[in-house]
Amino acid sequence: MRLPRFGYIKPSSIEECLNLLQEYGGKARLLAGGTDLLINMKYRVASPELVMGIKGLPELSQIVMDDKGYCSIGAGITLSEIVSHKQIASDFPAFHKAVQSVASKHIRNMATLGGNICLDTRCWYYNKSKWWRDAREVCHKMGGRECHAIKGSPRCHAINSSDTVPVLIALGARVKVVRKGQERIVQLKDFFQDNGARPTVLAPEEMISAVLIPREASSARPAFIKIAMRKGIDFSMGSIAGLLAQNGKGAGELRLVLNCIGSAPITLKKTVLVIAEAGFTDAAVERAALTARSELGALTNLFTSAGYKRHLAEVLVKRALNELNELPGKNRSK
Amino acid sequence: MEMRIISLTVNDTAYEVAVKPWQTLLEVIRDELGLTGTKRGCEIGTCGVCTVIIDGKAILSCLTLALECEGRSITTIEGISTAESLHPLQKSFIENGAVQCGYCTPGIIMTGKALLDENPDPTDDEIKEALAGTFCRCTGHIKIMEAVKKASHPAGEKE
């Protein structure tokens, strides 16, 4: 498979990059690791006029513990750089585990954190060759009006497969979104929208420059579990991140975030209420897991069946809650 | 959209090549430089046969633009042995029967080399983690793991 033709520019600064984004709008794409974009370009689901190589831009390549209480990770930091960062490994072990679970080491050497957050959603009917797609009606994600995953659906149901996103949402992370002359901070939980064709709130002239993790979140107890067909390289069939803030004796604030079963990460609000009311009893954990099943909304049969996705949610919630409830000091690796 | 002339350093040799922006490093290594040891496989980053080492890291050349490699040091399978002697990993693959059809071998050896350069004495889990991005459909992964493991403990240096 060959790449389509495109023009290439390597901006020397983020200002130059944002100016070009403003000028080209949706016709330009940013290339950092390339492990998502170049594949999509080979499949002709992305055919930008201009590709901007932002790999190694100094503004995007720093990990700093800033004075505002955040661990700030540049969007261009590779996943391997995060894996080998000792302080991230000790302060945010679940995030570290999630990053290490992404694809293969080859891909982690190339892929960036910004790219994993902005990972394009995937679908059986979309991530195919052009020849294959041409045999069907044009779907929402390609600019048409059909959804092949759920017939008659008014929106796209392609799946968000990022493994880093659920943990980052559980940790209360924010992203720095920049455009020419402007900067805004967006809570990561508000960054995604439940529409596979437009999975993030990012405008075509915007990009994320950094991810901000509140350092106080390092005192909470985290969990991350990923289930994939093969451990080695696959996208998740389902993953869950949990965070239990420890304030005093009783159960503190609990967060559970599921991903890879819908177009956006799912924050389980009703499920955590069950535990907030009844505590971590065996019966409450069972009830919470059943509640999770009903909190998922309409599911597709993409990659796994809808029934399997509900079952997976139940199992993942149960495992995450048990992991969070285990006594500190116990081996919590699995 | 026009061709650009870039200088690529492959196996310590500097090349001046005219590349188009949409040419991948894999295409340039094979089709322009004639170094066909690096193989073309899935081309979407799942099989690892196109692995080369760039600045010490195992990188997939099918998902790397050639013109982004200017000024970086690239090593391919051709660059790890000399006419007289094979690289210890290559010897180990032969001695341990880790090669059958051989198509995946260059990519796996480059992956193994990147691992051993960084960590000369990896654990089994570290070998598995590093090799996870490669596929062999005929030898089986056990022999390959053993070959990498034995190359990490050359005879004589053992314990």
DSSP structure string for B10-21? ETTEEEEEEE-T
Mean pLDDT of B73-95: 95
- Mean pLDDT estimate for chain A: 94
Mapping DSSP to helix (H, G, I), strand (E, B) and coil, where does residue B41 land? coil
Query: Running DSSP on this structure, what letter comes out for residue A25?
Result: G
The amino acid at residue A246 is Q
Best residue in B61, B63, B68, B109 to probe A by mutation, most A CBs within 10 Å? B63
| B49 inside 8 A of chain A by CB | no
B89 touches B116 (CB < 8 A): yes
Q: Dihedral (C-alpha) A317, A240, A96, A186: value to the nearest 10 degrees?
A: -130
A111 touches A36 (CB < 8 A): yes
Q: According to the model, what pLDDT value does residue A332 have?
A: 43
- CA A66 to the chain's CA centroid: 23
What is the end-to-end Cα distance of chain B in Å, rounded? Answer: 57
Mean pLDDT of A166-190: 97
A107: left (phi over 0), alpha (psi -120 to 50) or beta: alpha
Nearest C-alpha neighbor of B68 from the set A104, A17, A108, A8: A8
| Model ipTM value | 0.94
Q: According to the model, what pLDDT value does residue A162 have?
A: 97
Nearest C-alpha neighbor of A141 from the set A115, A168, A123: A123
Nearest to A106 among B1, B51, B68 (CB): B51
More confident residue, A101 or B83: A101
- CA A95 to the chain's CA centroid: 11
Q: According to the model, what pLDDT value does residue A25 have?
A: 87
- Count CA within 13 A, CB hemisphere, residue A101: 29
| B22 inside 8 A of chain A by CB | yes
| A51 inside 8 A of chain B by CB | yes
Nearest C-alpha neighbor of A263 from the set A151, A147, A178: A147
Non-local CB neighbours of A305 within 8 Å, separated by 6+ positions:
none
Q: According to the model, what pLDDT value does residue A250 have?
A: 52
How many CB atoms are closer than 10 A to CB A251? 18
More confident residue, A330 or B90: B90
Mapping DSSP to helix (H, G, I), strand (E, B) and coil, where does residue A78 land? strand
Q: What is the pTM of this model?
A: 0.94
Residue the block writes with tokens 């992404």:
A102
Cβ neighbours of A105 in B, within 8 Å: 58, 111, 129-130, 132-133
Over residues B35-58, the pLDDT tens digits come to 999 999 999 999 999 999 999 999
A34 to B64: CB separation less than 8 angstroms, yes or no: yes
pLDDT of B94 strictly over 70: yes
More confident residue, B154 or A156: A156
CA-based torsion, B38, B39, B43, B44: positive or negative: negative
Residue the block writes with tokens 């090549």:
B17
pLDDT of B111 strictly over 50: yes
Cα(B12)–Cα(A125) distance, integer angstroms: 44
Q: According to the model, what pLDDT value does residue B158 have?
A: 47
pLDDT band at A333 (very low <50, low <70, confident <90, very high): very low
- For the sheet containing A254-259, what is the strand order? A221-228, A236-244, A254-259, A266-267
- Shortest distance between the Cα of B84 and any Cα of chain A, in A, equals 30
Nearest to B44 among A7, A42, A105 (CB): A42
pLDDT of A215 strictly over 50: yes
Cα(A329)–Cα(B4) distance, integer angstroms: 58
Mapping DSSP to helix (H, G, I), strand (E, B) and coil, where does residue A203 land? coil
Cα(B73)–Cα(B78) distance, integer angstroms: 14
What kind of fold does domain B88-152 have according to CATH? DNA polymerase; domain 1 (1.10.150)
| A8 membership: H or E segment, kind and range | strand A7-9
pLDDT over 90 for what percent of chain A? 92
pLDDT over 70 for what percent of chain A? 96
B125 touches B133 (CB < 8 A): no
Cβ neighbours of A7 in B, within 8 Å: 1, 21
Per CATH, B4-79 and B88-152 having the same topology is answered: no
Over residues A221-278, the pLDDT tens digits come to 999 999 999 888 899 999 999 999 876 555 578 999 999 999 999 999 999 999 999 9
CATH number at B4-79:
3.10.20.30
pLDDT band at A27 (very low <50, low <70, confident <90, very high): very high
Q: According to the model, what pLDDT value does residue A331 have?
A: 46
pLDDT of A180 strictly over 50: yes
pLDDT of A197 strictly over 80: yes
Cα(A332)–Cα(A254) distance, integer angstroms: 17
Cα(B14)–Cα(B59) distance, integer angstroms: 19
Instruction: Quote the tokens at residue B39.
Output: 């193989």
- CA B52 to the chain's CA centroid: 4
A143: left (phi over 0), alpha (psi -120 to 50) or beta: left
Angle at A209 between CA A205 and CA A213, to 5 degrees: 135
Chain A to chain B Cβ contacts (< 8 Å): 81
pLDDT of A73 strictly over 60: yes
B1 to A35: CB separation less than 8 angstroms, yes or no: no
Nearest to B63 among A5, A7, A110 (CB): A110
Nearest C-alpha neighbor of A324 from the set A253, A258, A273: A253
pLDDT of A72 strictly over 50: yes
- CA A311 to the chain's CA centroid: 21
Q: What sections of A282-333 are H helices per DSSP?
A: 282-294, 306-325
Kindly list the domain boundaries of chain B, sorted by start residue: 4-79, 88-152
What is the end-to-end Cα distance of chain A in Å, rounded? Answer: 39
- Shortest distance between the Cα of B123 and any Cα of chain A, in A, equals 15
| A210 membership: H or E segment, kind and range | strand A207-214
B61 touches B72 (CB < 8 A): no
Q: What is the largest CA-CA distance in chain B?
A: 57
